[in-house]
Structure 1
Amino acid sequence: MALLELKNVTKYYNQAIPALDNVSFSVDEGEFVSIIGPSGAGKSTLLRCINRMVEANSGEISVDGVISSSLTKKKLRTLRTKIGMIFQHYNLVDRLTVIENVLHGRLGYKSTLAGVLGRYSQEEKKQALRIIRILGLEEQVYKRCDQLSGGQKQRVGIARALIQNPKIILCDEPIASLDPNASKIIMDHLRDISTVMGITVIVNLHQVEIALKYSDRIIGVNKGKVVFDGSPCDLTAGQIQAIYGSESENLIFDLGQRHAG
């Protein structure tokens, strides 16, 4: 059984044009899937519908065999512990330290009072330190997050997602604000999370060449529709044209350069 399944998911922000139009696909455990497409294609809406940050108008989404659309708030909170989320702009609390931000990933397991009081077990603190070390942030453990670089902040975001012990990590343009070196570090970590830890990773990307390099599978979205779903080696210049339209010329050149190399 697929870990994630979408059936005919449609989302309107206004009644004229759908942000998502009858989207269907499934993702298996441990897959690394990149979702590509131009700005406004529906990529962010798609991820936010998966964890119900945004409510779909119709269709069905199931995570680990549970249909999310029918869940009460309490059961949705439990389901969300299985779904880590990484954001383009990090969504950290800047005045708090790295380890405090990472431990926020455990809030879904806490009562409201325990969360407010910051009551974490010794095991949770040890797990946070283990993950921080894996991500190369051991020297920043007690630094405030407003003292970190963008790449370091994004690694804190990854650590916060990992401490949930998720089955899926959703990444919304995680490298859009980063330089090439920081971007490579982030993508290498995400790839390791998929291959070494066996966690499903779904990444929204604008950069086709990065999707080609890291993904097991690429889903191309245009105007809310899935227009490509397949292996990176099956992505052709014609399919890039279908995904990106008028933006595709430079991307097709890059694809040609890559194949030539």
Structure 2
Amino acid sequence: MTTLLEFKQVSKQYGADTKALSDVNFAVKEGEFVSIIGPSGAGKSTLLRCINRMIDASSGEIIFDGANIMGFKKNELKRLRTRIGMIFQHYNLVNRLSVIENVLHGRLGYKSTLAGVFGLYTEQEKQQACHILNILGLEEQIYKRCDQLSGGQKQRVGIARALVQDPKMLLCDEPIASLDPNASRIIMEHLRNICSTMGITVIINLHQVDVALKYSDRIIGVNKGTIVYDGSPGGIKREQLRKIYGAELDDQHVDIMGGQYAG
């Protein structure tokens, strides 16, 4: 499998005192499903947002699809972001617009400013959006306003908007943090299915260890801006969780994992 993404000695400094990432190194292959876990403030979100330059790393190299994106200028960044879909914790939808209108916003990266302002989409783009919404079980919501949807439905609209970009990679920043367990399961199954059937690489930040273990090909554990675990879900034992979560490794984390790492 081809390497799609590579971090080489990537660091991110905020101001004089805060180092969010320290010399991070890892590579992700095409079609992998990678979960990033770690305590709050560990640098998970910063790491994810450096991939599409929503946050600019302070040093190092980030190679995406063979190109070092650190030096990309405005037009190159626009093109990069069409190939990397982003799914947010709080959906980032326009509530007063319909589901289909929100999904078509995923095509804006391909449009001139004028075409974007007037919402000029081709028939093919509209059909593609409808097809993706069908896959995600939203065919009956296509013309509803987004403020009429449940949280789980809104997140599926967010996934559809990312998929209509024809991305090579999906970045998911805590996509189930605001959802109940059933809606969370539906979202995770869709993301796993997208990775398996469409071959789209998925990198996802998760708070829930059990979810990461269930759905991932690989887990990256982050603590204080450094990678302390990078391997298969099967390699995660109590000792590895202690490295990742440190003092936060309380009974809650163990219980979440069915007690299998107790003791």
Identity of aligned residues (%): 68
Deviations 1:187-243 (A, max 9, x none): 000000111111000000000000000000000000100000000000110110111
Name the residue aligned to 1:2: 3
Q: Is the 8 A contact 1:85 1:169 kept in 2?
A: yes
Residues 167 and 60 from structure 1, CA distance in 2 versus in 1: closer, same or farther, beyond 3 angstroms?
Answer: same
Deviation of 1:255 (Å): 3.4
Q: Is the 8 A contact 1:32 1:215 kept in 2?
A: yes
SS at match of 1:196: helix
Name the residue aligned to 1:210: 211
Name the residue aligned to 1:32: 33
Between the two proteins, the alignment pairs up a number of residues equal to 260
Q: Is the 8 A contact 2:238 2:261 kept in 1?
A: no
Deviations 1:145-192 (A, max 9, x none): 011100000000000000000000000000000000000000000000
SS at match of 2:219: strand
- What letter matches 2:113 in structure 1? T
Deviation of 1:246 (Å): 1.6
After superposition, residues 61-210 of structure 1 pair within 5 angstroms as 61-210=62-211
Q: Is the 8 A contact 1:170 1:203 kept in 2?
A: yes
Deviation of 1:247 (Å): 1.5
Name the residue aligned to 1:239: 240
Deviation of 1:46 (Å): 0.6
**What's the TM-score once normalised by structure 2's chain length?**
0.97
- What letter matches 2:44 in structure 1? K
Q: Is the 8 A contact 2:173 2:205 kept in 1?
A: yes
Of the candidates 254, 257, 263, which is equivalent to residue 255 of structure 1? 257
- What letter matches 1:57 in structure 2? S
Is there any run of 5+ residues in structure 2 with no aligned partner, and where? none
Q: Is the 8 A contact 1:237 1:255 kept in 2?
A: no
Which stretch of structure 1 is more off in the superposition, 26-35 or 68-77? 68-77
State the superposition RMSD in angstroms. Answer: 1.2
Q: Is the 8 A contact 2:99 2:142 kept in 1?
A: yes
Deviations 1:10-59 (A, max 9, x none): 00112213101111100000000000001101011111111000111001
**What's the TM-score once normalised by structure 1's chain length?**
0.97
